[in-house]
Amino acid sequence: MSDGLRLRVVFFATETGREPVREWIKSLPHEEQHVIGSDLLAVQYLWPIGMPLVRKLEEDVWEVRSTLGNRIARVLFTVSGTRLVPLHGFIKQSQKTPLADLNLARRRLRELKRSMG
């Protein structure tokens, strides 16, 4: 990788080619898109990185913790080689990562691993 980048972002894609995390980010207000993009960029340059920006949730799943004014966003991701793969993004409503959000990231991780053979 050039320019000091340790990881490159490759969005998770469904079998139909949709990129749900990219779509979710694009649905947010421009300022919030910028904050999440900047946080992802920091992870790309500084990997491996820990708190307060990144927290490991379980084997192969981490979260980027973005503060959006009075809201908090999370992007759940995995790292595969030199790729950072965002699996799921959401606005956090409670202290704990909701199980439904974690399960969605787990499901997408399994799909990703299957597609990579």
| Domain extent for 48 | 8-115
| 7 contact partners, CB below 8 Å, separation of at least 6 | 1, 43, 44, 47, 79, 82, 83, 84
* Domain-embedded: residue 100: yes
pTM value?
0.95
* Domain-embedded: residue 2: no
* Domain-embedded: residue 3: no
* Domain-embedded: residue 1: no
Which tens digit of pLDDT belongs to each residue from 8-30? 999 999 999 999 999 999 999 99
Total structural domains in the chain? Answer: 1
Which tens digit of pLDDT belongs to each residue from 67-93? 999 999 999 999 999 999 999 999 999
